[in-house]
Amino acid sequence: MSKIAVTLDILERHNHIIGDIPRGVKIYEGGGVEFMEPEPDYYVARVPHKKGTTKTVSVTFTQDGLDIEHSHCDCSWRSGGNPVCRHVTAAILAIQGGIVEAEDIPDSQRSISTASSGGCVTTLSAKLSFYIPQARSLKNKRMVARSIMDKARHMFNASVAEVATQDIHQTLTLGVAVVSGEYAHARKMMDELVRFMEENTDAELVNVEEQ
């Protein structure tokens, strides 16, 4: 793997909470982030939190070292998801030794990024069908739909929308889509998104149809 060089702009693309990236920078600048590398290309860090506590972060990077392949933090609001929080931000800065500016990245490393992705963007989409046995009206259905769509959008960098069966109160059909510069990353995002939606709704997931 190339040298880790993730810019703040890249971190912002993965973040869903306004102001969390600057908070992560402050945590890093305050010191105290400890990280280990238990196996090649897989990092685990302990990041200072409140009142002497810490958060545990794990992160892997794309082959070119310019982006995040997967991250996890035991923040309560992030449970089950993959966005970048302040603790992940602080950990990444500790791993790479500080803030990296785009102009500091060597052209040779950028060429690795272009070659590995083939200059393409991978988009994966799927149609998810849910059964809502407790729904007695379209209003009940809309409450369930709004809840799971809001949760999915908050936790993942994904598009989610109701795409069919709008007039059937016990059937919910959602279309979801994820985008990444690497197929493997997009595949992992889609798998995690579907699993998260299945586990975080009162509706029963009855079918997944990849487009």
**Would you kindly state where each structural domain of the chain is located, as residue ranges?**
8-115, 122-210
At residue 52, does pLDDT exceed 60? yes
Nearest C-alpha neighbor of 186 from the set 178, 194, 195: 178
Cα separation of 28 and 98, whole Å? 8
Report for 100-104, 112-116, 129-133: range of highest mean pLDDT: 129-133
Buried b (16+ CB within 10 A) or exposed e, 100-136: beeeebeeeeeebbeeebeeeebebebebbbebeebe
Residues 6+ apart with CB under 8 A from 19: none
Contact 10, 110 (CB under 8 A): no
Please give the mean pLDDT across all residues of the chain.
82
At residue 78, does pLDDT exceed 60? no
- More confident of the two residues 21 and 13: 21
Tokens (6 digits) for 119: 């200059």
Confidence of residue 113 (pLDDT cuts 50, 70, 90): very low
Residue-level pLDDT at 62: 83
Amino acid at 10: I
Residue-level pLDDT at 39: 63
H-type alpha helices, 7-137: 8-14, 20-29, 86-96, 107-117
Residues 6+ apart with CB under 8 A from 21: 8, 11, 12, 15, 84, 86, 89
CATH homologous superfamily, domain 122-210: TT1725-like (3.30.70.1120)
Q: List residues bridging with 205 in a β-sheet.
A: 130
Residues 6+ apart with CB under 8 A from 66: 2, 5, 6, 7, 10, 105, 109, 110, 113
The average pLDDT across 25-49 equals: 84
Amino acid at 183: Y
Residues 6+ apart with CB under 8 A from 159: 175, 176, 177, 178
At residue 141, does pLDDT exceed 50? yes
